[in-house]
């Protein structure tokens, strides 16, 4: 169980010559992570705007404190991903800018034209799906040792996603509490951002198709795999089904002790904490 939310300002720096295929020669997985990273400087400011708009409606001091930490953690996340996105070598993918503009336009349109209820339900839909994917990939002890800077950033980000997993749910439940509406909009939100990631990944794969990988042997004679294993819909299904139930609450989701150890590790590595 994670003890608390901590806002960490991290020192990660990224080489300017990172190749787009940075996960053990795996185009598909590399481009999926890049698409997710490209998403975040547009999505997370939208989440922040939505939460800030809800502040005046939150009367519970515990929920308000969680909202404040959520906003400050998310601000660190998208700034770090923006830094990575600016340094990774993405030459040869000229349409990425158009994909990002489409996404940015969507999120600003949601802020400007959709209700607060819609925007908070979208936020919870994102956080619920993300929590399950992160939990599946991270537990019990994260991604391992000797990670390159980008994967350290991902691990730090994922730890904080688990730390603040209850906040979007709590804010929506406190302000509105409409289960059926949350279910409908949250499910649509999950389709919205995952379909964008898939389209970006497919575009990148079209320009740089997956090459046949050669096996490299470990000392145990097994194929050496990339640090992060792919997450399939089937493997996520138990957690996904749970988030759609009327009695679902992220407060009941247990987090392994190893994630707390990672949280402490990144607190020590941080330039600043609060």
Using an 8 Å Cβ cutoff, are 9 and 270 in contact?
A: yes
Indicate the DSSP class of residue 140: T
Domain boundaries, the chain: 9-210+226-273
SS3 231: coil
> According to the model, what pLDDT value does residue 216 have?
46
> According to the model, what pLDDT value does residue 213 have?
55
* Spatial CA neighbour of 200 closest among 81, 23, 37, 21: 37
pTM above 0.85, yes or no: yes
Mind giving me the DSSP string for 13-68? ---TT-BS--STT-HHHHHHHHHHHHHHHHHHHHHHHHHHHHGGG---HHHHHHHH
Using an 8 Å Cβ cutoff, are 264 and 3 in contact?
A: no
pLDDT in tens, the chain (274 residues): 577 899 999 999 988 888 888 777 789 988 999 999 999 999 999 999 999 999 999 999 999 999 999 999 999 999 999 999 988 866 789 999 999 999 999 999 999 999 999 999 999 999 999 999 999 889 999 998 888 888 899 999 999 999 999 999 999 999 999 999 999 999 999 999 999 999 999 999 999 998 765 544 333 333 333 445 545 445 566 667 889 999 999 999 999 999 999 999 999 999 999 9
> According to the model, what pLDDT value does residue 179 have?
97
> According to the model, what pLDDT value does residue 2 have?
74
Helix count (H) and strand count (E) of the chain?
Answer: 9, 2
């Amino acid at each position: 169980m994670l003890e608390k939310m901590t806002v960490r300002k991290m020192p990660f720096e990224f080489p300017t010559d990172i190749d787009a295929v940075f996960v053990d020669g795996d185009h598909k997985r590399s481009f999926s992570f890049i698409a997710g990273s490209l998403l975040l400087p547009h999505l997370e400011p939208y989440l922040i705007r939505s939460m800030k708009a809800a502040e005046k409606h939150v009367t519970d001091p515990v929920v308000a404190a969680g909202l404040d930490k959520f906003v400050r953690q998310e601000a660190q996340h998208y700034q770090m991903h923006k830094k990575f996105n600016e340094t990774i070598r993405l030459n040869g993918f000229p349409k990425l800018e158009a994909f990002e503009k489409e996404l940015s336009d969507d999120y600003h349109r949601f802020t400007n034209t959709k209700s607060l209820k819609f925007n908070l339900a979208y936020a919870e839909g994102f956080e619920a799906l993300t929590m399950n994917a992160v939990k599946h990939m991270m537990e019990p002890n994260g991604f391992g040792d000797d990670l390159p800077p980008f994967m350290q950033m991902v691990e730090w980000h994922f730890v904080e996603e688990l730390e603040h997993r209850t906040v979007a749910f709590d804010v929506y439940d406190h302000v509105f509490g409409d289960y059926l509406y949350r279910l409908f909009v949250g499910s649509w939100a999950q389709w919205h951002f995952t379909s964008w990631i898939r389209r970006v990944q497919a575009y990148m794969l079209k320009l740089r198709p997956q090459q046949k990988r050669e096996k490299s042997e470990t000392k145990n004679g097994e194929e050496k795999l990339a640090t992060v294993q792919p997450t399939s819909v089937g493997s996520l299904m138990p957690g996904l089904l749970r988030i759609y139930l009327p009695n679902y609450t992220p407060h009941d989701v247990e987090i392994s002790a190893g994630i707390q150890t990672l949280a402490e590790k990144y607190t020590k590595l941080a330039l600043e904490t609060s």
